[in-house]
Amino acid sequence: MPVDGPQYPVNLVLRGRSVLVVGGGPVATSKVEGLLDGGADQLLVVAPDVTDDLQACADDGIVAIERRPYASPEAAEHRLVVTATSDPGVNHQVFLDADAAGVWVNSADDPANCTFTLPARVRRGTLLVTVATGGHSPALSTWLRRRFEDEFGPEYDALVELLSAERESIKAQGRSTEGLKWQEALDAGLLDLLRADRRTEALELLRSCLSSSSG
């Protein structure tokens, strides 16, 4: 069934899984860039013509390109499919083929031919922040991303690294990471310290907050 009603957000692991993009224009190029950012490493683009940027990806060995029309029902051979052609008939056929095979499919700017929609994204290293409207208004999702993306500077990636390293250190000691005052530490100004490149002080503050945790 096409997208309708509430949606459940997930982060997909794409590495090592076959992904198909049908289409070779600017929209398809944008979709490919997002998939590559998300870790896709077995990505096939099928289109009679492709943009120079897509061809450059193929020349670098990042994606595979087959310059031909979509051949039904090849969508069924992949784990994830995105279609972004200017032909509604092709997009619909890709959707039918993928859905019949239980393959998740997204059709650019066409929720009726989707089994999932793509949010607007802000990436800062391992931090991923998404904004979605359930496919009802991609323009609003993009506007909200542009409005807030400047807030997420490189200090956020440093914050993720700091918290992750301390969490792994605690686990290595055989201690539980649950019940510790992570939120109190975050509220105490960790981000401001990292923004000022005061990582040692940030680590000391984090450990102080966590050591005061009960349980």
Cis amide bond preceding 73, omega within 30: yes
Rg of the chain, C-alpha, whole Å:
21
pLDDT of residue 6: 83
Question: What phi and psi, each to the nearest 5 degrees, are found at residue 150?
Answer: -65, -20
Q: Read off the pLDDT of residues 155-169 as tens digits, 9 standing for 90 and up.
A: 999 999 999 999 999
- Between 1 and 64, where is the model more confident? 64
The type of residue at 101 is A
Quick one: how far is CA 214 from the chain centroid? Answer: 36
Higher pLDDT, 125 or 50: 50
Backbone angles phi, psi at 60, to 5 degrees: -85, 0
Mean pLDDT of 4-24: 92
- pLDDT per residue over 90-124, tens digit each? 999 999 999 999 999 999 888 889 999 888 888 88
Kindly report the pTM of this predicted structure: 0.82
Higher pLDDT, 12 or 136: 12
Q: With a cut of 50, say whether residue 215 has pLDDT above it.
A: no
